[in-house]
Amino acid sequence: MGSTEIAIRDRLRDVFAGRHSELRRIAAATDRRGSAGIALIGAEGVGKSRLQAEATNRADPTRHRVIRAVTTVATANVPFGALAEHLPSGLLRSPFTGDALRGAAEALLKPAGKRRLTLVVDDTQLLDEASAALAVQLARRGELFLLTALRPDRRLPRPIGDLWTDGLAEWVEVGPLSRDDVHQVLGEALGGQVEGVLVQRFWEATAGNALLVRELLTAQLEANRLVADDGMWTLRGPFAIPSWLAGLVDERLVAAPPECRAALELLAVTEPICPGVLAELVPADVLEAAEARGLIRIERTNGQELARLTYPMYGEVLRAVTPRLRARRWLSQCASIVEATSQNPVDLARAVSWRLACGQRPSPENMAIAARAACSAMDFELAGQLATAESVAGRAAAVIEPLGYGFLFTGRSAEAESALSGLGRLDHEVDRARVASVRAFNLYFGLDRQAPAEALLAATVDATVDPATRRRLVARQALLRALSDAPQDALELAAGVPDEPEARVAAGLAQVFSGRPHEGLDLLSGGWPDDAPWLPILADLGTVHGLLWTGQFVAAEERSGTGYDRALANRWQFGILVSCLQRGLAARMRGQLRDQITWCREGISIAREQGSNGMLAVLLGLLAHGYALTGKTDAAAHALAEADRLAGVSLRLLGPWTELSRAWVIAARRGDAAAHAQRTARLARDRGAAGFEALALHDAVRLGAPKHAADRLRALAGQSDRCLGHLYATHARAKAEGDAAALAGVSADFAELGSPLLAAEAAAEEAERHRSDGRLAMASTAAARALMFMRHCEEVPRSPALSALATPRLTPREGEIAELAARGLSSREIGRNLVLSVRTVENHLHRVYRKLGINTRGELDALRVLLTVPQG
């Protein structure tokens, strides 16, 4: 293992993620005299010991003395054996008597002085009788706090358990790590950004078990499976399961009865599977025993119960060690049971995959059903494999959609075009129309060939007689026209087929992007067919923009996050890609620049892998904006230049985002950014893109040209009283007229919308207005608010208004006192430290409050950034 891998392992040992509520409960209990202890209850490897260590590391050493008991089988029968290192050696050789107990108590309490003891005990069931009696005695007297941990299937020894029975102590359940926690662990350990799919795979494989996360990461490092491509960590291929990791898992399974082991092996090669199918092959009492031991779980998905291994990583190991002939026999038996008992397409798809895995040939009918079911379930890899097999066998007509979408959505658009165009002229009109529809979709999204896609659709519509088939083709025409920024064409086409789902999405997109976001949001509200999983993604594209145009920033962020989670759970790269863009846009509007850059980088990584140049260009432009506003000028220019090289003819609907970004790159390079923003606004107006026009005009306001934008923003605001343009217009007027009170109101409104960046800029403009008019105290108050909002932007923004912000000026003594007060010291403690009277300290604090525009000590901590700025 190289130096990089060693450094990662060192960081991994120190990473602590999540557990915020548990830490708060422990801290509150240790400070409460009436509390005798807390027991952390959780499964093996969930992170109880790490939580104990983190809680005790955070304890105030001036108020608590932490000691740890050593519990082993060897010390379990030795009086005071667990506390041997804290007690005189003579006590360990004497019998356990009352005198010995009193002596041990004195020996523990004396070093603590006035501090309260915290005794940390792991494997509490191994605590010897004398140590347990001593801990309980001191805990009941309020002199000791017992922080213990145990598994759910273990019991606390009687004298210690009585503390909980008597209500003197409390239980805290320690569950698995969340996906966000796993993300934090991987990110901090690897020291860089981690691809969302990698996080999802780790989280799913380990079920959030902290020990398994650590060991699985170590195994991938040793096997060189983790790759940092342009700073983005990804996993290449399947998980590596070395022998030592398999041994660790096997050690955990060895306690299970032999019949349970067989059931687990069966489940490993077939999961997820209906419990009813399992019950045909495994006795019910064995399944119940495996579930009771926490080895399997039954979950409900889409109205169907499915059995899975509790820790999917166990499945990786079990599949590797299960004899191949046995696995084939189980797969064949399970497939036969499902085919005989179920007509559910998802079940039949599983049966087909089992037959193929054991080298058998499923029926053609089931192959077609399975291919379509895989496509609907967003398993496009499997859909493409099954459809290709059917096409080779001469049955392509039944699997046209899985064939085309299977290749398109796995980044193989050229293969999709080759396979679909190679089908020749099919006998039935409906089948020819289906091929044309899928080909057009692939040409547009996969190959960036808008004109051939639309020409193919138009020719097929003219040649099609069947009314239902024509409606579907026209709906697809409408959708592509909407995405190509031709809203009027899209609306006219959609109006002729209003009941078609794709037409509804097309009309919704056209309405949102042409200045009628509320009407568009109504059309995009949901109800999409299961066999078109890309429709919710495209509908979300319109919905997120509609929410942004109407100032619903937080709702847009939540909606894009939901889409990301859905796509990630299915590992659908196209869905993840679009969701990354949407999350980046929501972060841009909120001024969360670090998040914006993070989501762009993840989306760019996927777009490069998938060959999605249209999406890649938009993401690069958005990344350039984030870089420009965080001072990374060269990186911003490089990203924008690549976006310009890649910009294609499809997805023109999103093109204005790149031009909006260009203004901020120009600003970072000290060019005439306001003029470019105004040109972008005129282009958007010519195209009827009211949302982009309002945003470009507001950028011109922020970049120093409010007078030219104010009138047009008022006109746009008049078109709808429920759009963001109203607030933009108010901001433009307030800035143009130098109205400090109105700027303060604008700042508050932006803060309420959830955009700390825009709130900070308006407050900074208000501060500059006050300062120009000689109102220095009011200027300091407004500047303090601007800085407080900036703290919520994560990265320090470099916009014109904030770059010119003059921070409130504190004297050196005021800054010193404010810093101490922000750290929680009382006026008396500050006075002792600085040799000042309490009254002098209070007077200084009142002047600080007035300058910073706050009223209490509690608000000082939020302004710590101010207190580190050189003053005087």
Q: Which residues pair with 150 in a beta bridge?
A: 41
What confidence tens digit (pLDDT) does each residue in 483-527 have? 999 999 999 999 999 999 999 999 999 999 998 999 999 999 878
Phi and psi torsions of 849, nearest 5°: -55, -45
Q: Does residue 590 contact residue 557 with C-beta atoms inside 8 Å?
A: yes
Rounded to a whole number of angstroms, the CA Rg of the chain reads 32
Assigned token pair, 463: 């040649």
Q: What sign does the CA torsion over 278, 284, 286, 291 have?
A: positive
**In the prediction, which pLDDT does 630 show?**
93
What's the pLDDT score for residue 71?
A: 87
**Mean pLDDT throughout 448-455?**
93
The span from the first CA to the last CA of the chain, in angstroms, equals: 53
Distance between CA atoms of residues 797 and 593, nearest Å: 8
pLDDT greater than 70 at residue 566: yes
Q: How confident is the model at residue 284 (pLDDT cuts 50, 70, 90)?
A: confident
Convert the pLDDT of each residue in 179-229 to its tens digit.
Answer: 999 999 999 999 889 999 999 999 999 989 998 999 999 989 888 899 988
Quote the percentage of the chain above a pLDDT of 90: 50
Quote the pLDDT of residue 321.
Answer: 82
Lowest mean pLDDT across 135-139, 299-303, 392-396, 849-853:
849-853
User: H-type helices in 32-77, by residue range?
Assistant: 48-57
Cβ-contact 304, 346 below 8 angstroms? yes
**In 422-486, which residue ranges form alpha helices assigned H by DSSP?**
429-445, 450-463, 467-483
Sign, CA dihedral 853-857-860-861, equals negative
Residue 485 region by backbone torsions, left for phi larger than 0, else alpha for psi between -120 and 50, else beta = left
Question: SS3 string of 328-374?
Answer: HHHHHHHHHHHHHHCCCHHHHHHHHHHHHHCCCCCCHHHHHHHHHHH
- Mean of pLDDT values over 439-446: 94
Residue 163's identity, in one-letter code, is L
Amino acid 265 reads E
Give the mean pLDDT of the chain.
89
Once rounded to an integer, what is the mean pLDDT over residues 29-55? 89
Q: Read off φ and ψ for residue 173, nearest 5 degrees.
A: -80, 130
Question: In this model, does residue 870 exceed pLDDT 60?
Answer: no
CA dist., res. 370 & res. 346, Å (int): 7
Alpha-carbon distance 345 to 801, whole Å? 59
In this structure, the chain runs to a length of 872
Helix axis angle for 429-445 and 450-463, nearest 10°, is 170
Question: Of 428, 366, 438, whose CA–CA distance to 401 is shortest?
Answer: 438
Confidence of residue 345 (pLDDT cuts 50, 70, 90): confident
Distance CA 68, CA 148 (A): 10
What is the predicted pLDDT for the residue at 1?
Answer: 55
The bridge status of strand 304-309 relative to strand 226-229 is: unpaired
- What six digits make up the tokens of 661? 């970004």
Q: Which two tokens stand for residue 340?
A: 């005989």
Cα separation, 469 vs 436, whole angstroms: 11
Tell me the C-alpha distance between 297 and 171, whole Å: 24
Q: Which residues contact 443 (CB under 8 A, 6 or more apart)?
A: 417, 449, 450, 452, 453, 456
553-569 vs 573-590: helix axis angle to the nearest 10? 160
- Name the token pair of 640: 């924008």
Per-residue DSSP letter, 273:
B
> Phi and psi of 116, rounded to 5°?
-90, 140
Contact present, 30 and 59 (Cβ < 8 Å): yes
Euclidean distance between CA atoms 643 and 660, whole angstroms: 13
**CA–CA dist 316, 789 (Å, integer):** 48
Backbone angles phi, psi at 310, to 5 degrees: -60, -45
Cα(300)–Cα(175) distance, integer angstroms: 20
Weakest mean pLDDT among 169-178, 192-201, 235-244: 235-244
Given a cut of 70, whether residue 156 has pLDDT beyond it is: yes
Mean pLDDT value across residues 388-413: 91
pLDDT exceeds cutoff 70 at 846:
yes
What confidence tier does 683 reach under pLDDT thresholds 50, 70, 90?
very high
**Six-digit token pair at 436?**
């044309």
Angle, nearest 10°, between helix axes 812-822 and 827-834? 130
What are the C-alpha distances in Å from 703 to residues 227, 597, 708, 724?
Answer: 40, 21, 12, 18
pLDDT digits (tens, 9 = 90+) for 599-628: 999 999 999 988 888 899 999 999 999 999
- Please report which confidence band the pLDDT of residue 720 belongs to, taking 50, 70 and 90 as the band edges: low
Report pLDDT for 872. Answer: 39
Question: According to the model, what pLDDT value does residue 597 have?
Answer: 96
> Which whole number is the average pLDDT over 379-407?
90
Residue 118 makes CB contacts below 8 A (sequence gap 6+) with: 30, 56, 59, 64, 65, 66, 67, 144, 145, 147
d(CA 609, CA 696): 32
The tokens describing 92, both together, are 């360990």
CA distances from 738 to 492, 619, 744 (A): 45, 36, 11
CA 514 – CA 548 distance, rounded (Å): 14
pLDDT(863) > 70 = no
Helix (H, G, I), strand (E, B) or coil at 1: coil
Average pLDDT, stretch 261-272?
88
Distance CA 635, CA 621 (A): 11
pLDDT confidence of residue 871 = 42
Residue 377: band (very low, low, confident or very high) from pLDDT cuts 50, 70, 90: confident
| 763 within 8 A of 749, measured Cβ to Cβ | no
The span from the CA of 510 to the CA of 479, in Å, is 9
pLDDT at residue 80, as a whole number: 86
Phi, psi of 233 (to 5 degrees): -80, 130
Query: What pLDDT does residue 722 have?
Result: 59
Long-range CB contacts for residues 20-26, cutoff 8 Å, separation at least 24:
22/51, 22/55, 22/172, 22/174, 23/51, 23/54, 23/55, 23/58, 25/170, 25/172, 26/51, 26/55, 26/147, 26/172
Whether residue 67 is predicted with pLDDT greater than 80 in this model: the reply is yes
311 sits in the region (left: phi over 0; alpha: psi -120 to 50; else beta) called beta
Place of tokens 């078609």: 500
Residue 475 has pLDDT above 50, yes or no: yes
pLDDT-derived band at 804, boundaries 50, 70, 90: confident
Distance between CA atoms of residues 518 and 539, nearest Å: 14
| Spatial distance between the Cα atoms of 464 and 474, rounded to a whole number of angstroms | 11
**Residue of 390, 782, 761, 756 lying closest to 594 (CA atoms):** 756
Strands (E), 292-331: 296-301, 304-309
3-state secondary structure of 612: coil
Distance CA 329, CA 342 (A): 20
